[in-house]
A and B are shown apart, each in its own frame.
Chain A
Amino acid sequence: MITAALTILFHGLAFAMVLYIVSVGLGITMGLMNFANLAHGAFAAAGGYVVVVATRSLGLPFWVALPAAFVVVALAGAVVERLVVRTLYGADELRQVLFSIALLFMAIAGFTAAFGPLQQQPEIPAALSGQIALGGVEFPSYRAFVIAAGVVILAALWLLIGRTRIGMRIRAAVDNRNMAEAIGVDTRMLFTLTFALGTGIAGLGGGIGADVLSITPTYGQEYLVLFLIVVAVGGLGSIFGPFLAALCIGVVDVAGKYLIPEFGAFFIYGVVIAILLAKPAGLFGVRS
């Protein structure tokens, strides 16, 4: 009984943290720029592939591959923002959706051409490939690392958004873009930076979470609904809301599948509907 509860909690947390790391950037960019980036998951997949290539083909250490995934994907995000996304701010949602879906399918085709259709696994460092005992139960150390990484990223983002000047500006621009401009905030540059940050973190999440959400070309499409749920339930523009949402969804999903497997994903969608009925703007929505 206790073992089952611990197992659910542990794996639920690991799943939740991956969802969080990948989705949080989507919530920030949707809250700031009102841009529904359905291609967000493709950036996460790209991060996964960076880690795969870095550790398997280039033989680089995992600890070098992770920051590389962040940097490469953030740069790609900045380029995509400058070239295309920028022209779609304020455009109607249908155009945004069609554009980002097109980008997603282009990414899927690109990944398939480059890496083939099969799942890819990064090389995990020896230090994380063992087991650790928690409350008398053995768990994979790597997943403990995933959980820790989620908490570290939450803390880092909370500091960045809540305690720095750039974070202050991001919050101001989310509240009121014109007024932020009128006091001298370069919101265009801020949007590029934020888009790069959001996609970069997704890339990091793709790399860190490859063990939970496996890296295949269709990653961005397969898990899209989960990312959107985390963002919608957590609230757009929030750092902490998506964390709580990911926790609920991760733990409930693992518990449901563990205890009553025949119901599959029934439970997480039940929780989603309940939360959105009670709080339409999400748990911590800055903007609905």
Chain B
Amino acid sequence: MPDTRTDSTLSLTNVRAGYGATVVLEDLSFDLADGEKLSIIGRNGVGKTTLLATIMGLTRLHAGRIGLGALDIAALRPNRRAHAGLGFVPQQREIFPSLTVEENLLVGLRPGGWTLERVYDLFPRLQQRRTNMGNQLSGGEQQMLAFGRALLTNPRVLLLDEPFEGLAPVIVEQLFQALLRLRDESRLSIIMVEQHAKLALAFAPRTMVMSRGRVAFDGASRTLIDDPARLDALCGIGGGIGVAH
């Protein structure tokens, strides 16, 4: 059961990774404690998506160690990493178009605290759309489905890549509330990559700022909330990150 395990720490040590011979992440290290929530911000193109994809095993790892609990997962294929407890909500959502909504939810189902009923309770909209095909959904519905699909694999660590990107403000608000519920009601460890600094800083007590494949800041979100000038400097002038959204 995911909520009773105590060794669900994700740790990256001196990770160098990228695509083919191209290195995007340079010597990146951090630890995530059991049940900890972490926000990651940074300008477009600094490697946030690459970081999550690397944890998932979808990029080329050149060097470094990736640990999940006591397990070194660096050499494992993505499906073994999923079984080891990683849940992935990718930036492009990547809903399976030829599966129905319910099939999208069930295809990765593994036993645990998260059940179809609980996901439908969190996102009632998905239940209404359960027989629709994956390619017949609005952006917000796709995002809910991507969340639900990851939750039903009953992960220990949930990786979210810009879950609010491209969504209308009212939908962002709804999803954010659902995410806060998730944060407060489960012992899931969560890493959320987010462009909206305001949402990111409000979501997790700890925030990491990335800059060109490296960690530029890793500390209390409070520090950045209290020092907007520092936040601005870290994220770069005109880098597309506003404190307001």
Contact = CB atoms under 8 A, between A and B. Distances in A.
The interface residues of chain B, by DSSP majority, are classed as: loop
Given A168-B107, A172-B107, A187-B79, A182 B90 contact: yes
A195 to B, nearest CB: 18
A181 B82 contact: yes
Interface size class of A (residues with CB under 8 A): 20 to 34
A132 interface: no
Contacts of A165: 106-107
A261 B49 CA distance: 62
Given A169-B107, A178-B58, A179-B90, A186 B96 contact: no
A183 B103 contact: no
A183 B88 contact: yes
Interface string B33-65: 000000000000000000000001110000000
Q: Is the interface on chain B under 10, 10 to 19, 20 to 34, or 35 or more residues?
A: 20 to 34
Nearest to A184: B82
Interface string B122-161: 0000000000001000000000000001100100000000
B83 interface: yes
B99 interface: yes
28 contacts: A165-B106, A165-B107, A168-B103, A168-B107, A171-B98, A171-B99, A171-B103, A172-B99, A172-B107, A174-B98, A175-B99, A176-B96, A179-B94, A181-B79, A182-B58, A182-B78, A182-B90, A183-B88, A183-B107, A183-B149, A183-B153, A184-B79, A184-B82, A184-B108, A184-B110, A185-B108, A186-B79, A188-B77
Interface of B: 56-58, 77-79, 82-83, 88, 90, 94, 96-99, 103, 106-108, 110, 134, 149-150, 153
> Which 10 pairs across A and B sit closest by C-beta, in order of nearness?
A183-B108, A184-B82, A181-B78, A179-B94, A175-B96, A182-B88, A172-B96, A181-B79, A171-B98, A186-B79
